């Protein structure tokens, strides 16, 4: 029986890249399966068409028209505003399945972890709903735990803000400090949304997690036990290793890689903070001082932080005059060992033999990419679930050095504290140590991630189990 799954990714670039990658894996590994991605345009740019290849074979893209991109909308309300377009797209797919005899049967809708409100559309069309959870299994356990505390023990974790409290999260082996909870969980206004999303996740037929069983054994053991959660399939690492950006970045990419080719092996520390990561002038100067003091070669993706309000995060912008922002003479003194860039081809940089360490915001995609290439990381989270990821990588797994686990700069945090040059320098020196235990642990985990995707590997087996379960649940 030929079947089709409909994926609805969140419009964030990291989520869309991961969803495209898992869709490719699914159709490559099972000839019975077709996938359609319903693409919600970015809230910050109306045209999504240039970011996607043309539909081909059993993988196709349904690009929705740009909706209301009012600056007053936050991410949640923006997703809600897209429901009529998504409903119309699913209706057309359903009509095709019924009227064309050769069309595959619609087998279900896979919603992104931030698009759980779209589950009601699956219900309207009597289709099973699944979730693609673009973060890790341990964090999924935290979401369920916070919901259980709220519903069963009447404890709102938002009350733990600014406290020294610790949580016994069932997917962690050690107590978790409330100071590393995501800001939305520490907000009494946003916690109900977090709890409602966890309830929605519990109601799905299964959850695809972008992780590897060997990396999160405690979490996978919990989800395989007797608890009221759907089946969890650890199918990672789901990585987009082919996307190089658009044509306008090709020249910049080539220039960056040429510079890296001229550096000694494992001599460069790479600093990059994701598509939304930027800092103010004062914090930028602290980073510069740390880099110069460390003496290491560096590739620094540097951008200015934009204001964040009403749960709407604007993309960072370039600094117009670096000489005015950076310490006097910094650019001249570091000209032979450092390169400052804006956009970064992150995958290509991490793949370079010249890169020896990575200062990262701890977005889950970035963590998986660094582990895939065996590059040790220094954790400097900024927003979303990144503080939790930093705790997991530093304390739980021992796969990262720490710069500041509980740093946050988001729409709820207000003015951020300044991370000092001393803290940053310490993290840089730790990840750049050549024969450290950290580097050895990262290499061992890198090998496990590669094996997981091979025939007989844990992630390959989980992917096959997911497809088997989908077939059994076809309406």
Residue that the structure tokens 């077709």 belong to:
34
Taken in order of first residue, the domains within the chain and their CATH numbers are 3-134+203-236+454-472 (3.40.50.2000), 248-449 (3.40.50.2000)
CA distance 45 to 384: 21
**332-368 pLDDT, tens per residue?**
999 999 999 998 999 999 999 999 999 999 999 999 9
The model's confidence at residue 43, banded by pLDDT at 50, 70 and 90, is confident
pLDDT at 409: 79
Nearest to 356 by CA among 425, 401, 296: 296
Residue that the structure tokens 């092996």 belong to:
265
The overall average pLDDT reported for the chain is: 91
Higher per-residue pLDDT: 387 or 99: 387
End-to-end CA distance of the chain, in Å?
Answer: 13
**Burial environment of residue 86 by CB neighbours within 10 A (0 to 12, 13 to 18, 19 or more):** buried
Joined tokens for residue 379: 């954790």
Count of CB atoms situated within 10 Å of the CB of 253: 17
Joined tokens for residue 166: 């610790």
Joined tokens for residue 458: 């844990």
Task: Say yes or no to pLDDT of 403 above 90.
Answer: yes
Q: What is the CA radius of gyration of the chain?
A: 22
**213-253 pLDDT, tens per residue?**
999 999 999 999 888 899 999 999 999 887 655 555 789 99
Task: Say yes or no to pLDDT of 54 above 70.
Answer: no
The model's confidence at residue 307, banded by pLDDT at 50, 70 and 90, is low
With both helix axes pointing from N to C terminus, report the angle between 281-294 and 421-432 in degrees, rounded to the nearest 10: 40
> Would you please indicate which residues are annotated as catalytic (active-site) residues?
15, 112
């Amino acid at each position: 029986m030929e079947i089709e799954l409909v994926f609805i990714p969140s419009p964030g670039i990291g989520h869309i890249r991961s969803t495209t990658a898992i869709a490719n894996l699914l159709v490559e590994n099972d000839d019975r399966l077709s996938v359609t991605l319903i693409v919600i345009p970015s809230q910050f740019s109306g045209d999504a068409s240039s970011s996607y290849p043309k539909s081909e074979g059993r993988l196709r893209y349904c690009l929705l028209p740009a909706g209301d991109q009012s600056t007053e909308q936050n991410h949640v309300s923006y997703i809600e505003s897209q429901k009529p377009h998504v409903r119309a797209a699913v209706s057309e797919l359903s009509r095709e399945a019924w009227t064309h005899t050769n069309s595959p049967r619609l087998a279900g809708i896979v919603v992104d972890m931030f698009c759980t409100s779209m589950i009601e559309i699956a219900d309207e069309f009597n289709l099973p709903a699944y979730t693609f959870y673009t973060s890790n299994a341990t964090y999924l356990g935290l979401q369920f735990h916070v919901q259980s505390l709220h519903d069963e023990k009447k404890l709102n974790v938002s009350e733990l803000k600014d406290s020294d409290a610790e949580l016994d999260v069932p997917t962690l082996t050690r107590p978790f400090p409330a100071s590393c909870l995501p800001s939305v969980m520490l907000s009494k206004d946003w916690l109900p949304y977090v709890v409602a999303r966890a309830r929605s996740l519990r109601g799905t037929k299964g959850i695809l997690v972008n992780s590897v069983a060997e990396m999160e054994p405690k979490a996978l053991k919990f989800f395989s036990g007797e608890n009221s959660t759907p089946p969890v399939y650890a199918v990672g690492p789901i990585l987009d290793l082919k996307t190089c950006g658009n044509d306008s970045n090709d020249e910049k990419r080539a220039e960056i890689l040429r510079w890296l080719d001229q550096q000694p092996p494992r001599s460069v520390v790479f600093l990059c903070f994701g598509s939304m990561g930027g800092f103010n002038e004062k914090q930028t100067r602290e980073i510069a001082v740390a880099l110069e003091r460390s003496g290491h070669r560096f590739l620094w993706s540097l951008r200015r932080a934009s204001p964040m309000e009403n749960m709407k995060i604007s993309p960072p912008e370039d600094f117009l005059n670096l000489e005015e922002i950076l310490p006097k003479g910094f650019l001249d003194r570091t000209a032979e060992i450092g390169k400052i860039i804006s956009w970064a081809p992150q995958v290509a940089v991490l793949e370079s033999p010249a890169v020896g360490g990575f200062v990262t915001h701890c977005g889950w995609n970035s963590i998986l990419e660094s582990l895939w290439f065996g590059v040790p990381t220094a954790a400097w989270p900024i927003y979303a679930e990144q503080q939790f990821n930093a705790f997991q990588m530093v304390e739980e797994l021992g796969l990262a050095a720490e710069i500041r686990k509980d740093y946050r700069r988001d729409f709820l945090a207000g003015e951020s504290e300044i991370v000092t040059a001393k803290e940053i320098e310490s993290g840089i020196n730790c990840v750049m140590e050549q024969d450290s235990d950290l580097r050895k642990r990262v290499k061992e985990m890198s090998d496990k991630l590669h094996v997981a995707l091979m025939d007989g590997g844990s992630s390959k087996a989980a992917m096959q189990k997911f497809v088997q379960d989908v077939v059994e649940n076809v309406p």
